[in-house]
Amino acid sequence: MAPPLLMLRDIELTFGGTPLLENASFSVSAGERLCLVGRNGSGKSTLLKIAAGMTEMDSGERFVQPGTSVRYLPQEPDLSTYATTLQYVEAGLDAGSDPYRPHYLLGQLGLDGTEDPSQLSGGGVRRAALARVLAPEPDILLLDEPTNHLD
């Protein structure tokens, strides 16, 4: 069996003296799909942010196989600093990425790239954000409530 692409082991995190995550562990291997299920406020989003390398943990281990790319789709994407959806998606590309992929993905998701992000519905924002995280063709895609606000 191949080693996991991403592994979290014994993750501990406390907010304001209250434990949010205690001994949380999981791993992701190539081709796997996982779903985190839990009550509101149970730490699912925080665990995904730790997996993405965006949030520090109090203790535990995060391992990502060298060369593995990880992308995170937040619950509330912020497109406010971009003039168009195309600019927003292109900003998520890595060096050497296919420059035509953003156009293709936006089209597949019902957008043309010229949309003003401030004028998009909640679903339009989610589709643009999905295009952004898919554009660099990541090995691991972490989706935080991806179907919220889809229209």
CATH number for 10: 3.40.50.300
Indicate whether 150 belongs to any domain: no
pLDDT-derived band of residue 146, with 50, 70 and 90 as boundaries?
confident
Do 57 and 90 have their domain in common?
no
> What confidence tens digit (pLDDT) does each residue in 77-122 have?
999 999 999 999 999 998 888 989 999 999 999 999 999 999 999 9
Do 80 and 139 have their domain in common?
yes
Indicate whether 42 belongs to any domain: yes
For the full predicted model, state whether its pTM sits above 0.85.
Answer: yes
Can you give the residue range of the structural domain that contains 114?
A: 73-143
Do 23 and 60 have their domain in common?
yes
Indicate whether 46 belongs to any domain: yes
Helix (H) / strand (E) containing 129: helix 122-134
Q: Which of 28, 46, 68 is the last residue of a domain?
A: 68
Do 40 and 61 have their domain in common?
yes
The number of distinct structural domains making up the chain is 2
Q: How deeply is 145 buried, as exposed, middle or buried, from its count of CB atoms within 10 A (0-12, 13-18, 19+)? A: middle
> What confidence tens digit (pLDDT) does each residue in 71-87 have?
999 999 999 999 999 99
Do 77 and 139 have their domain in common?
yes
Rounded to whole angstroms, how far apart are CA atoms 73 and 143? 5
Do 23 and 82 have their domain in common?
no
Do 42 and 81 have their domain in common?
no
Indicate whether 97 belongs to any domain: yes
pLDDT-derived band of residue 149, with 50, 70 and 90 as boundaries?
low
* Number of Cβ within a 10 Å radius of residue 8: 21
Polymer length in residues for the chain: 151
What is the model's pLDDT at position 2? Answer: 78
Rounded to whole angstroms, how far apart are CA atoms 124 and 127? 5
